[in-house]
Amino acid sequence: MKCVEDQMKMIKKGVEEIIPKEDLIKKIEKSIKTNKPLRIKYGIDPTGYDVHIGHLVPIRKMREFQDLGHTGVIIIGDFTAQIGDPTGRDESRPPLTAEMVKKNSEKYMEQLFTVLDKDKTEIRYQSEWFGGMNMMDVIKLMSKFTLAQFMAHDTFRKRWESGNPLFMNEIMYPLLQGYDSVAINSDIELGATEQKFNILCGRDMQRFYNMDQQVAVLSPILLGTDGINKMGKSLNNYIAVFDLPFDKYGKVMSIPDNLILNYFNYATKVDPDEIDNIKKELESGSNPKYIKQRLAREIVSLYHGAEEGMKVEEEFNKIFSQKEIPTDIEEYTVSQSPLWIVKLLTDSNLCASGGEARRMIKQGAVSINGEKITDENLQLEILSEQIIKVGKRKFLKIIKGS
RNA sequence: GGAGAGGUUCCCGAGCGGCCAAAGGGAACAGACUGUAAAUCUGUCGUCGAAGACUUCGGAGGUUCGAAUCCUCCCCUCUCCA
């Protein structure tokens, strides 16, 4: 096992805050002395299974802990999922069935294991400890905190002050998350900085149960592709693990230039020294496009391999810089000919409605074999291998059916 | 339990009997430009073979030639009082 200094150096990298740092040092010392791995906690809510690269910032940290010999513990929040984290924007939550929880967490873990070390990961469900609780236990949990403590928390206070509804069950959220730390006896909890309150709740909760208190290791929040809000599903500014390589590449290319270094730091495995070089390069005024392309390649490679990264980059240049046609285009079989162009666009799902299809034609966004379509009444003679293009990035190959 | 305010199109938010498919902003999409699905500028932004028609302003009824706008009941949220 590595010495305390080495471990600390590795842990501190790319981390915004460690609360309290002294405790972390003590924990590592103890772990080395007793040769016992630390238990590193991270919780997920199985409300869905779309994992984006923002979620993976703390997960990468967990992997580093695992590489240092420690144990990662993933909590499947099958109880907290019924509430919805108040720090998020989610409003009402439909109740989750057991099957949904199972399906979501399996898919979720599949994505996390692109980063984590399976042999050093423990998966635990909240229902293991909350499932058997009765009302007395719940009251006991609630008696540990005051309302004032919760109202001091920014997200609760803001909701309150802006006159938005704040439900009682939402107040339970930090309590449940906090008790998880007691249940699994965690040494360290990982999360983004917005999780500070919840994670510190876990610390308090452990103290109430006379346990060693966990340390909060907080990662910065990854901004979304819009460059303004945190990456998240509700704002549709996220890059998902399940996104196709080409989409990942394109989404990275759409981030504002000032986010490039941020992404290099938190969304790739590029060495910090190398990132320093990139920073200098950016400052020296070289074209950010090429640096962003490298970033996009790095991110795609991380999930799909270096080869795919190169391939996708070529494809991107082809379509957007040289305005050519992509190599692989989805095919669509048409048996009726001639076919009204608007019908073709809607039937093939290139456009959502007839109105949209007409609009696209009017705006000069539709072309067939490179020829712009201007007549929205066009009866198209269907020939095989016609390439239809809508906007910049929607392509379809028409196959003549019989 | 009492008193007040409010629920509008993906989101925020105006409208308070016809000129409302509903201002403005954001998001999204398209075009131009470029260094890219950056930035900027311009345009579009309910559905229907587009003519007119149909559906939409928390829900259900009603008044009216005509309702997002008025009335009744219901559901939901916020504020103050207890």
A151: Cβ under 7 Å from strand B?
no
Residues of A 234-293 whose CB lies less than 7 Å from any atom of strand B? 236-237, 246-247, 249-251, 253-254, 256-257, 287-289, 292
Pairing of strands A386-390, A366-368: antiparallel
Residues of A 324-343 whose CB lies less than 7 Å from any atom of strand B? 340, 342-343
A395: Cβ under 7 Å from strand B?
no
Burial of A236 (0-12, 13-18, 19+ CB in 10 A): exposed
Pairing of strands A71-76, A121-125: parallel
Nucleotide nearest to A353 (CA to C1'): B47
Using a 7 Å cut-off to protein CB atoms, list the covered nucleotides of chain B: 27-32, 35-39, 43-50, 77-79
Give the pLDDT of residue A87: 59
Residues of A 43-62 whose CB lies less than 7 Å from any atom of strand B? none
Give the pLDDT of residue A206: 96
Distance CA A190, CA A199 (A): 8
Give the pLDDT of residue A179: 96
Structure tokens at A8: 């600390």
Instruction: Give the CA-to-C1' distance from A259 to B32 in angstroms.
Output: 26
A69: Cβ under 7 Å from strand B?
no
Per-residue pLDDT of chain A (402 residues; tens, 9 = 90+): 788 999 999 999 889 999 999 999 999 999 999 999 999 999 998 888 889 999 999 999 999 999 999 999 999 999 988 776 665 444 455 667 888 889 999 999 999 999 999 999 999 999 999 999 999 999 999 998 998 888 888 888 888 888 888 888 888 899 999 999 999 999 999 999 999 999 999 999 999 999 999 999 999 999 999 988 889 877 889 999 999 999 999 999 999 998 999 999 999 989 889 999 999 988 887 788 899 999 999 999 999 999 999 999 999 998 887 888 888 889 999 988 889 999 999 999 999 999 999 999 999 999 999 899 999 999 999 988 899 999 988 999 999 887
A322: Cβ under 7 Å from strand B?
no
Give the pLDDT of residue A89: 44
Nucleotide nearest to A340 (CA to C1'): B49
Instruction: Give the CA-to-C1' distance from A301 to B39 in angstroms.
Output: 27
A145: Cβ under 7 Å from strand B?
no
- Give the residue whose CA sits closest to B42 at C1': A363
Instruction: Give the CA-to-C1' distance from A352 to B14 in angstroms.
Output: 29
Q: Where are the alpha helices (DSSP H) in A217-335?
A: 245-253, 260-267, 272-283, 288-304, 306-316
Amino acid at the residue A352: A
Distance CA A174, CA A371 (A): 59
Residues of A 302-321 whose CB lies less than 7 Å from any atom of strand B? 316, 320-321
Instruction: Give the CA-to-C1' distance from A356 to B3 in angstroms.
Output: 50
Nucleotide nearest to A163 (CA to C1'): B78
What are the distances in angstroms from CA A10 to CA A6, A100, A113?
Answer: 6, 37, 21
Give the pLDDT of residue A399: 92
Give the pLDDT of residue A159: 83
Burial of A327 (0-12, 13-18, 19+ CB in 10 A): exposed
A134: Cβ under 7 Å from strand B?
no
Give the pLDDT of residue A95: 65
Give the pLDDT of residue A106: 94
